[in-house]
Amino acid sequence: MADNKHVDEATGTTTVGHEWDGIEELDTPMPRWWLITLYATIVFSIGYCILYPAWPLLSSATRGTLGWSSHAQFDAEMAADANRKAPVMLALAQIPIERLPENSKLLAAAEEGGRSAFKVYCVQCHGSGAAGSKGYPNLNDDDWLWGGDLKTIQQTLIHGIRQPGDDETRMSQMPPFGRDGILTPAEIGDVVSFVRTVSHQEPADASSQRGAALFAANCAACHGNDAKGNRALGAPNLTDSIWLYGGDRQTLTETVTNSRYGIMPAWGTRLDPVTIKMLAAYVHSLGGGEAFVPEKGPPAPAPATPAPVKQNVGP
């Protein structure tokens, strides 16, 4: 092949000796700038391998003479960020959550921190916009089973809903009226008719009238005679057309027949108190939050009437 090499007349470049159907390949040298760049990258890579972690080992990598690592840099950045946030976190830890609205800057910081925490811990069930889905409540509306003020939301987050092993968890249990044989399928149908009537989905009829009597006997103890629920028991309002699982006839029949038993984790065992406080502030800010109303204690005793002071006025 070497004997076939010759100088191409048109370019003045030597050929490599290959020829295919009259087509020959020129042995054009690489541009000098390209070669300089190539050699520079080789030198750089050798220097990088010496100075920084580069070669993988069984359980780690070569450390490099500078001792730098991405983990150490990340830890340093996280520590610096924690130091920057420390005054705000300390203030949030010290302030009672019901007094948080008194400090607008601290409240804004709590809501922003809660927004970030929500994206990590809560969107899997409640969705990125907190609108929920079937079986997972919408946190944007003003419908609350146990209450929507800051302190109540915090309590719910700490102890969860129907969390096994937590004595202070939110607990409610509707009987499975059909599965336990408390009501017959026909009676359940009448109760569903009544619920759909009070929720303005169906006009009153004979079925809903029969259901009203059944509701008063079996359901009013929790949902109230007016079907507007009871927060002390976690019983939902059945008249506002806001449904956790659905308000259509089929879904309501399933609910009354077999009941529901949703569970929310008790975050008090998983998150620190400040993070929970920030989450409560964020959820409260979504649109349905309520004002905190302090519990009324016993009235203070009336001050005692002072005894008259005797004065010596002389003989």
pLDDT recorded at residue 126 = 96
pTM: 0.75
Digit-coded pLDDT (tens) for 72-84? 999 999 999 999 9
Per DSSP, 219 falls in state: T
pLDDT recorded at residue 295 = 65
pLDDT recorded at residue 314 = 40
CB within 8 A of 161, min separation 6: which ones? 169, 170, 171, 234, 262, 263, 264
Which residue pairs from 90-94 have beta carbons closer than 8 angstroms and sit at least 24 positions apart in sequence?
92/274, 92/277, 92/278, 93/273, 93/274, 93/277
Digit-coded pLDDT (tens) for 104-119? 999 999 999 999 999 9
Low-confidence ranges of the chain (pLDDT < 70): 1-3, 295-315
